[in-house]
Amino acid sequence: MNAKMLKKILSTGVLLALAVPAHAEWVRRITDGIMGTRITVELWADDKDKGEQAIDALLDEMRHVDDSMSTYKPTSEVSQVNAKAAEGPMHISKELFDLLVTAKEYSVITDGAFDITYASVGYMYDFRKHVRPDEAQIDKALPAVNFRHVLLDPKQQTVQFSQKGVRIDLGGIAKGYSVDRGIDVLKSRGFTRMYVSAGGDSRIVGDRFGKPWMVGIRDPRKGEGEVITRIPLVDAAISTSGDYERFFEEDGVRYHHIIDPHTGHSASKVRSATVIGPYATRTDGLSKTAFVLGPERAMEIYNRIDDIDAIIVKLDGTVVYSKGIEPAHGAAPAK
């Protein structure tokens, strides 16, 4: 072979190498510290770099949601609303306005179990520091808890609280919302197979090449890896609320982070509730219902809503399923 030929072969080889696309693969990243929780992202990328860049953009979007919705941040839009909305109508971003409309809709669907004004009492709890309000403090603050106190004007895009003392907190919906926003970011970049989770709220788009994604539902009284069942999912969101997430015990009573809007006390009627549906905003918003209303009333509501399924672990440890996902007749329910 002469030098000229060798040069030709080499250059063709180089060209060929350039023409072959970077090999496609699953790109996965786990990030802590956004919305006080762990974000997990997994996506199928034709090009790893593009996958990583998309995950960067998703995390930016989630940080933006955190910055505008967190009540831990005094500068957030929600904190501004809490500071000023009792004084008069306050103009807010379209994003926050729409989410407040959605939150109200969930209050109606859940017979008031989901209520972002829980925070009018809820702000006095600090589960990490084992702090809770006494009865007198609860009684005084409780009249401010009612989603009807949040007045929304779509024409002016304003929010107003009908009375002093009202506070809102989107902690029961914001993680699910941020997952949906994150999914939108990935979809807009052309990705078609992905898993995104923020703590107990996850959403899946596409399958794993002919196989569903398997999502485990944790056993509320066992360690993190122990599941009561695994659910195969494609194109669905799933949220679990558990009484084991953020709690403390005092004199045998478990105080944890879901508040009954009617009493201002910790709502403890189930150990955990998992909701499956099309969007994580929705599954997140609906997963608190069972704690407040109890398994029977909550299951009635879940069964009434077409695009929702649910799995509830009752206080005695038994597991109940909504109509759409009852284990096959005769099969032993997962325990």
Contact positions toward ligand ADP, by CB under 6 A?
114-116, 118, 169, 171-172, 175, 199-201, 241, 245, 257-259, 261, 284, 287-288, 292
Comparing CB distances to ligand ADP, the nearer of 70 and 322 is: 70
Q: Residue 122 and residue 257: Cα distance in Å, rounded?
A: 8
Tokens of 294: 């109890």
Residue 282 interacts with Mg ion (CB under 5 A): yes or no: no
- Contact between 189 and 57 under an 8 Å Cβ cutoff? The reply is yes
- According to the binding rule CB under 5 A, does residue 175 interact with Mg ion? yes
55's tokens: 């995950």
Q: Which does 180 bind (CB under 5 to 8 A by kind): ligand ADP, Mg ion, none?
A: none
Category of 247 on φ-ψ map: left (φ > 0), alpha (ψ -120 to 50) or beta: beta
Nearest residue to Mg ion, scored by beta-carbon proximity: 284
Q: How far apart are CA 331 and CA 321, in angstroms?
A: 13
- Among the listed residues 42, 169, 180, 201, the single contact to Mg ion using CB under 5 A: 201
Which residues, other chains included, contact 141 with Cβ-Cβ below 8 Å and sequence gap of 6+? 120, 121, 124, 133, 165, 264
Nearer of residues 199 and 277 to ligand ADP, judged by Cβ: 199
Which residues within the stretch 70-89 sit at the binding site for Mg ion (CB under 5 A)? Answer: none
How many residues at the interface with Mg ion, by CB under 5 A? 4
CB of 313 to ligand ADP, least distance (A): 13
- Give CA angle at 130 (128, 133), nearest 5°: 120
**By the rule CB under 5 A, 169 interacts with Mg ion:** no
Instruction: Tell me the sheet residues that pair with 247.
Output: 256
Name the 3-class secondary structure at 53: helix
- Token pair for 116: 């972002």
Name the nearest CA neighbour of 174 among 244, 104, 100. 100
CB contact at 8 A, 280 and 177: yes
- Binding partner of 313, given ligand ADP, Mg ion, none, CB within 5-8 angstroms per partner class: none
CB of 102 to ligand ADP, least distance (A): 12
Which residue's CB comes closest to ligand ADP?
171
Task: Find which of ligand ADP, Mg ion, none residue 295 binds, CB within 5 to 8 Å per kind.
Answer: none
Instruction: Examine residue 284 and tell whether it contacts Mg ion (CB under 5 A).
Output: yes
**Using CB distances below 5 to 8 A depending on partner kind, what does residue 277 bind out of Mg ion, ligand ADP, none?**
none
Q: What 3-state DSSP class applies to 299?
A: helix
Closer Cβ to ligand ADP, 47 or 111, answer by number = 111
Token representation of residue 106: 């969930």
Q: What are 259's two structure tokens?
A: 């508040």
| Binding segment (CB under 5 A) for Mg ion, from list 31-39, 47-55, 194-202, 268-276 | 194-202
Q: Closest separation between CB of residue 257 and Mg ion, Å? A: 10
Q: Does 66 bind Mg ion (CB under 5 A)?
A: no
Question: At closest approach, how far in Å is the CB of 37 from Mg ion?
Answer: 9
From the list 169-177, 260-268, 301-309, 316-324, the region that binds Mg ion by CB under 5 A is: 169-177
- CB neighbourhood size of 309 (10 A): 21
> Cα 27 vs. chain centroid, distance in angstroms?
22
**Under rule CB under 5 A, residue 243 binds Mg ion:** no
CB of 114 to Mg ion, least distance (A): 11
- Compute the least distance from the CB of residue 252 to ligand ADP, in Å: 22
Would you say 76 and 170 are in contact if contact means Cβ atoms under 8 Å apart? no
Residues found near Mg ion in the complex (CB under 5 A): 175, 200-201, 284
